[in-house]
Amino acid sequence: MILNFEASVVTHLLNNNEYNPDIQSKHFAHVEHKTIWEAAHKLISEQKEADLFTVCDVLGQQWSTTIVEMMADALPPKDMYIDVIKAAYKKREMQSILSNSEDLEVNEIIAKLTSLEETKGTHTHTLDQSLKAAIHLLDDINQGNVKPAIPTGIKRYDELNGGLHDSDLYIIGGRSGTGKTAFVINMLLANDQPTLFASSEQGAIQVAQRILSVQGQVPLNKMRSASFNSAEWDHLSRACSTLKGRDLIIYDHERPTVADIEREARKMEITTGISCIAIDYVGRIESGRPTNTKKEAIAGIVKDCKSMAKRLDVPVILLSQLKRDSYGRIPNEADLADATELECEADVIMLLHREHTYNEQADPTEADLIIPKNRHGQPGFIPLHWHGPTLSYTSK
């Protein structure tokens, strides 16, 4: 299919010399497509017409059959073909870098992989250009040509915001014991997209036990003691069958840097693809650069997470603690530890609140998801249901 997409793009250029997509000859996988593209662009740069006949004049008449066959393979032109062709090129280059990485340092590998990102080109756009691009995007979304947002499993949130969106940074805050890790696990289980879960607080086995508890609805304390009845064994068996083959990678390095996490994400990008990254939690991430204060370190980490989200074009979820003096009341964004840095970079901030954690008279099953910042929509307040034995958050 990729060759048909390439044929479509090259054919469209020969049919319309004003066609000027954001693509270069290096992006083509097929050497003949690359050669025809370069010949056509050479003619156009010389203010000459580029079509079947003039390109054959440049390359030789023996190319006529090749070009005619290419045009026969072409599909109706679509903007999405450019993204697919460039993504395929990027994947080929990544595979080449990693297959020849034995003699390279980790930082050299990361630098080579990062250099594949599209950083060149104009950063200045007229309003007409921007409006046209926005309309094309809406058209692609309407036709199903754009990857949909990732559902969170929280019905009201998904209705208001559509889910988790590419390149956005999501901060999830909560006091110790409110179930931040549980909440993000529930979110990850709500979809089957390839996901990297960087868990610095808990090892892979502990995370897997939590996942089984949620999926099988078996109390977590029984997962620790293995004291199951026959019905619970059946639930666990069904949960394992449901989860088998899921593209969820658990990265349990105890003190990773953002570069470490991105390296694991790049590996996934090549093998299974990657749609989401979740990091538990910001306080256990190493800066990776010299800093004088904790505030500087956190600021750098959060900025790196936002940059990673943009480079990989995936949503990144970052968990954070709340300050101790937020205990005993409904929290707000200022209660986030190192709030200033997190507030600046976050696209969306979500805060978990369970009154029962400080008021024994409150309903232990009631919880709230507070959204004090939402760059792409309205702030909000969403009631949730909390099931303590399985550490599960569900919609009310």
Q: Which of 360, 295, 372 is nearest to 332 (CA)?
A: 372
Task: Give the tens place of pLDDT for each residue, 4-58.
Answer: 888 899 999 999 988 888 888 889 999 999 999 999 989 998 889 999 899 999 9
Residue 121 has pLDDT above 70, yes or no: no
Q: Is residue 315 located within the same domain as residue 263? A: yes
Q: Is residue 90 located within the same domain as residue 213? A: no
Q: Is residue 101 located within the same domain as residue 224? A: no
CB neighbour list of residue 319: distance below 8 Å, 6 or more residues apart: 171, 172, 173, 174, 180, 181, 184, 278, 279, 280, 281, 282
Q: Is residue 142 located within the same domain as residue 166? A: no
Does a structural domain hold residue 128? no
pLDDT bucket at 184, cuts 50 / 70 / 90: very high
Does a structural domain hold residue 121? no
Domain count for the chain: 2
Does a structural domain hold residue 45? yes
For range 238-251, the mean pLDDT: 90
pLDDT bucket at 197, cuts 50 / 70 / 90: very high
Are residues 179 and 185 in contact, defined by beta-carbon separation less than 8 angstroms? no
What CATH number is attached to the domain comprising 22?
1.10.860.10
Task: Give the tens place of pLDDT for each residue, 104-113.
Answer: 666 666 666 6
Q: Is residue 94 located within the same domain as residue 221? A: no
- How distant, in Å, are the alpha carbons of 1, 25, 196, 354 from that of 33? 14, 8, 36, 59
Q: Is residue 141 located within the same domain as residue 192? A: no
Task: Give the tens place of pLDDT for each residue, 282-303.
Answer: 888 888 777 778 888 888 899 9
Residue 375 has pLDDT above 70, yes or no: yes
Does a structural domain hold residue 234? yes
Q: Is residue 302 located within the same domain as residue 201? A: yes
What CATH number is attached to the domain comprising 313?
3.40.50.300
Provide the pLDDT for residue 350: 94
pLDDT bucket at 364, cuts 50 / 70 / 90: very high
Are residues 216 and 236 in contact, defined by beta-carbon separation less than 8 angstroms? yes
Q: How far apart are CA 84 and CA 5, in angstroms?
A: 8
Range of the domain at 205: 155-395
Residue 223 has pLDDT above 90, yes or no: no
Candidate from 97-106, 161-170, 236-245, 384-393 with smallest mean pLDDT: 97-106
Q: Is residue 142 located within the same domain as residue 181? A: no
Among the three residues 100, 123, 146, which one is the final residue of a domain in this structure? 146
Mean pLDDT of the chain: 86
Q: How far apart are CA 369 and CA 393, in angstroms?
A: 10
For range 340-363, the mean pLDDT: 89
Q: Is residue 142 located within the same domain as residue 260? A: no
What own/partner pairs with CB < 8 Å and gap ≥ 24 does 24-29 have?
26/89, 27/85, 27/86, 27/89, 28/85, 28/89, 29/2, 29/3, 29/85, 29/88, 29/89, 29/92
Q: How far apart are CA 58 and CA 382, in angstroms?
A: 65
Provide the pLDDT for residue 49: 92
Among the three residues 146, 169, 204, which one is the final residue of a domain in this structure? 146
Q: Is residue 365 located within the same domain as residue 222? A: yes
Does a structural domain hold residue 126? no
Residue 168 has pLDDT above 90, yes or no: yes
Among the three residues 96, 121, 146, which one is the final residue of a domain in this structure? 146
Are residues 179 and 386 in contact, defined by beta-carbon separation less than 8 angstroms? yes
Q: Is residue 38 located within the same domain as residue 84? A: yes
pLDDT bucket at 146, cuts 50 / 70 / 90: low
Q: Is residue 196 located within the same domain as residue 139? A: no
Does a structural domain hold residue 120? no
End-to-end CA gap in the chain = 44
Using only the alpha carbons of the chain, give its radius of gyration.
25
Are residues 244 and 201 in contact, defined by beta-carbon separation less than 8 angstroms? no
- % of the chain with per-residue pLDDT over 70: 92
